[in-house]
A = this chain, B = another copy of it.
């Protein structure tokens, strides 16, 4: 007899394979190949492992990693929203919440509840773990764009003010990483790969 829990978990594991098909706007490092959500989530999870020491507060790294591994799963139904999209707000749309209920709902009840809660916590960005996780999510594309001659900033005409406003939340997770990131943003202006109007 195969346990009912296991069968539900396997159904979830099969479903989330679709995350590998969701293309982000950002490209891989020094590359013109778009990154997908699974690759992105893997990278952020490792970044959290190696950068945890720079968090402003003592964090539960396992919780941060869980957040990062699952944070884009809702995009299976809701699609990827470009962070600089002016038409559609990225955060906590009803569409994303429906997606979370459907996809995490494939799991056994207690587990579904735990992961939906972790996802909501990430989206709200208020706890120390969510703040650090968000700082990872903002840092990776900054590293990518600076390696790609401006990347999505150049491609979609995003200027310094917009970048600065989106990136400054890094500071809430890590002052140390924000110092580095702010420096990188200013350097990008100097190099002419980010426009300051």
| Cβ contact within 8 Å between A17 and B9 | no
| Cβ contact within 8 Å between A43 and B61 | no
Interface string of A19-55 (1 = CB under 8 A from B): 1110000001100000110110111011101110110
Query: Does A89 reach chain B (CB closer than 8 Å)?
Result: no
| Cβ contact within 8 Å between B50 and A111 | yes
**CB contact between A62 and one of B46, B62, B180 (< 8 Å): that residue:** B62
Interface residue count for A (Cβ, 8 Å)?
Answer: 47
Q: For residue A180, which residues in chain B have a CB less than 8 angstroms away from its CB? A: 2, 6, 10
Query: Does A88 reach chain B (CB closer than 8 Å)?
Result: no
CA distance A111 to B50 in the complex (A): 8
Q: Which A residues have a C-beta under 8 Å from some C-beta of B?
A: 2-3, 5-6, 9-10, 12-14, 16-17, 19-21, 28-29, 35-36, 38-39, 41-43, 45-47, 49-51, 53-54, 61-62, 65-66, 69-70, 107, 111, 140, 143, 147, 176-177, 179-180, 183
With A20-B43, A62-B62, A65-B65 already in contact, 9 other A-B pairs whose C-beta atoms are closer than 8 Å: A12-B50, A13-B43, A13-B47, A16-B43, A17-B28, A20-B28, A20-B35, A38-B39, A39-B42
